[in-house]
Structure 1
Amino acid sequence: MSENGLNLSFEEALKKLEEIVKKLEGGNLTLEDTLSLFQEGIQLSRICTEKLNEASGKISILAKDIDGTFSEKPFGEGKNDR
């Protein structure tokens, strides 16, 4: 990958990953090109995963406590309690 992946937004990385998938599905590539695109795809996949993990860490929800007050809790906390 020519660019530093850290400079890519989630949307940019995902778009590039989708383009790679289309090229790989086309099947008209040499083995070397296929391997190169596959490696780039893995890097882009990792970037997307990191960006999603960062975003999920920032997401929180307001939850109403038993006493009627509201408190902020991490997203997904207590989802198995329902």
Structure 2
Amino acid sequence: MSADERTPEPTTTYEQAREELADVVRRLEAGGLTLEESLTLWERGEELAGVCQHWLDRARERLAAAAPAEEG
């Protein structure tokens, strides 16, 4: 799939998403939340994990493209 066929780039940077995800995890681990609050945070965490994965995948693609082709 080419870059043009993919979904648009997230507006959140990797660093922003990672930091917010760490905050979500801290809040969930601290407890004391209602079930609804916990579910909402969990869903946000899943979204943020997806954003982080997107940026990591893109970085891998860029590294692979920049690496010299292996002779074989």
Structure 1: 4+ residue segments shifted above 2 A:
none
Q: TM-score, normalised by structure 2?
A: 0.77
Structure number having the greater strand percentage? 1
Comparing both chains, which one has the higher relative contact order based on Cα–Cα distances under 8 Å and sequence gaps of 6 or more?
2
Please give the alpha-carbon distance, in whole angstroms, between the structure 2 residues aligned to 1:48 and 1:6. 10
Q: For structure 2, list consecutive stretches of 5 or more residues without a partner in the other structure.
A: 1-8
Structure number having the greater helix percentage? 2
**Number of aligned residues:** 61
Q: For structure 1, list consecutive stretches of 5 or more residues without a partner in the other structure.
A: 62-71, 78-82
TM-align CA RMSD: 1.9
C-alpha distance after superposition, 1:48-82 (max 9, x if no partner): 00110001100133xxxxxxxxxx13xxx7xxxxx
Q: TM-score, normalised by structure 1?
A: 0.68
| Identical positions, percent | 32
Please name the residue that 1:23 is paired with: 27
